Structure 1
Amino acid sequence: TFTVVEADGGFAQATREVRVLNVAPEAIIKDVSLEVGKRERFDLDGSLSTDTPSDSGTLSYMWDMGGEPFLTGAQAFWRFEEVGEYTINLMVVDDDGAWDRASMTVTVVNRLPTIGPIPDAILNATDPVWSHKLVVYDPDDDLENLTIIYPQFEPGGAFASWVERDDDGGWTVYVRPKEERDGSRADVQVTVRDPDGGEASSTFLIDIDTSMVDEGSAMWWVVIAALLMLVVLTVGFYVLTRRQVPPPQEEET
């Protein structure tokens, strides 16, 4: 109310109504990556949100992770357990109850597993069992959640090959040559697969050489033939010398 008073005491008044409003804050989500791997840390930042300076109040933050539990605080993080697309809402509330909301969409993807190179198994048929521990990694899953795809080989082939699970959840490849079989070569592909169908493969060569076995067998036959020849010559020489030696003559008395 505004009052004007004159010298004789007269006065006049004017009244105006003033309404004091609480200006709502502005919710702002700081730019972040719009793609994240399953179970990877996803950081959220709403610290750029603002309020009217004259309010000089305290802002509260609540993150709605698209059906996941709510998070609080200007900064937070989350790990998504499933592949898909999620809408994230940030609600910012001042201490007088005014609020604002900002939204963003994030795509959760499956990061593929990896498998390291496998050295070639170049073996002789008489070599012992060959083995190699696979180097496998998956950014989204533990090794225990992965499966391995390894070919089956004919039982009558030149080698046996298989994979076994290790105590740490990984795998080791084994190759056992068969001495009694012919040589063989095979390109072998090893594949690891995660629960979401992501795959990685590595190929190595199995080469079984039986020439050493064949050469060894041939050498044994040569030795046996030489021994037999020596026996024949010895017997022949003995018989021949027996024939050439005259029988002893009796002395006359």
Structure 2
Amino acid sequence: MIKNSNKTHDLRVALVTGGSGGIGHAIVKELADNGFAVAVHYSSNKLKADTIVNEIVKKGGKAISVGGDVADEKCMQEAFDMVEERFGGIDVVINTAGIMILSSIAEANLADLDKMYRTNIWGTFVISKQAARRVRQGGAIINFSTSVTRTKLSKYALYVASKAAVESMTMILARELRGKDITVNTVAPGPTATPLFLDGKDKQTIDNFSKATPLERLGTPEDIADTVLYLATSGRWINGQVIFSNGGLA
């Protein structure tokens, strides 16, 4: 059951960018299990997105897949159009799409910097622009950052700079939507066991991250999905905030 007492429509609809990825997939599943119709966005892996959609539909849920580059305004406008045409509107937009390339500042490849900024900053702006125009009253916009904006780990400077921009956009958009009863927040996960996080890390590095939190484990995509579900439903008094879902990481 959807827990949002401020619900204004019989069918609540969510668009999840990066919905075929690790955290995105967990969020899609959590929303579908709680009665949302879900649009599963993918960048290149249409097969995986369609598989997720088929799983939801087989369980009696409502879902579609939508594809495209989040930084392409025309493409994302068409994606939002598709969701509205299929389900009648959009209540929640969750922007998990992002890439992470690690490098020291001294050795940074500026081509990698451009690639990451295109998705993480430009893409967030494009999605936020469409969401600000289309999300229905009582809805929510949820962006994604990282807890490394606070922990300041070496080799994360380029990635953190892109996510700090996301946090700033989020806080400003929350104020720009004054009077529309739409919340805008950012979730900043700590170390979470996803392909994006695990890629290129040896066992010792992963073990060190696991021990860094008081809970002495990595987060799971489901941990992050729980936070997102709360913000998308009953967390109506949380607005313009960065929520650190990181198990107590300092």
Structure with bigger helix share is: 2
* TM-score of the superposed pair, with normalisation by structure 1: 0.19
Q: TM-score, normalised by structure 2?
A: 0.19
